[in-house]
A = this chain, B = another copy of it.
Amino acid sequence: MQEKTLAEPAAYPVGSVQRVLAAIHDPVRLEIVRRLFNAGTPLQCGALYDGINKSTATHHFRILREAGVTERLVTDGMTCQRLRRAEVDAAIPGLLESIVRSANGEADAR
């Protein structure tokens, strides 16, 4: 029996501005980032989206992760997503705060 290996690195380097924007511009992924930013702590995957199925969510998590915006943690057998806020801030200062502050304002207005 073959052993299943995780070829994936634990975390990817933060991508170019263009790549990070491409990761965040999608409405589902913007909402994932907004919830993680507001929580200030890793969150379980299921707390990060509404109205999409798990395989679609997995796709969105992968895009965020490969752009270096988030990483996946497994704690007590539970998979969480962590926003790499410090890492993204170091690469693109001010970006996440600017985006989330305005996105919060829009969410409040809904």
The chain A residues found within 8 Å of chain B, CB to CB, are 16-18, 21-22, 24-25, 27, 30, 91-95, 97-99, 101-103, 106
CB neighbours of A102 from chain B (8 A):
17, 91-93, 95
- Residues A24 and B21 in contact, CB atoms below 8 Å apart: yes
- A27–B25 Cα gap in the complex (Å)? 13
How many protomers of this protein does the assembly include? 2
Docked pose: A18 CA to B103 CA in angstroms: 8
Whether B93 contacts A101 by the Cβ 8 Å rule is yes
Q: A30 to chain B: which residues have CB within 8 Å?
A: 17-18, 21
Q: Which 4 A-B pairs have the closest CB atoms?
A: A21-B25, A94-B98, A25-B25, A92-B102
Could you tell me the distance in whole angstroms from the C-beta of A40 to the nearest C-beta in chain B?
Answer: 19
What residue of chain B has the Cβ atom nearest to residue A93's Cβ? B98
Q: Which of A17, A91, A94, A102 has the most CB of B within 10 A?
A: A17
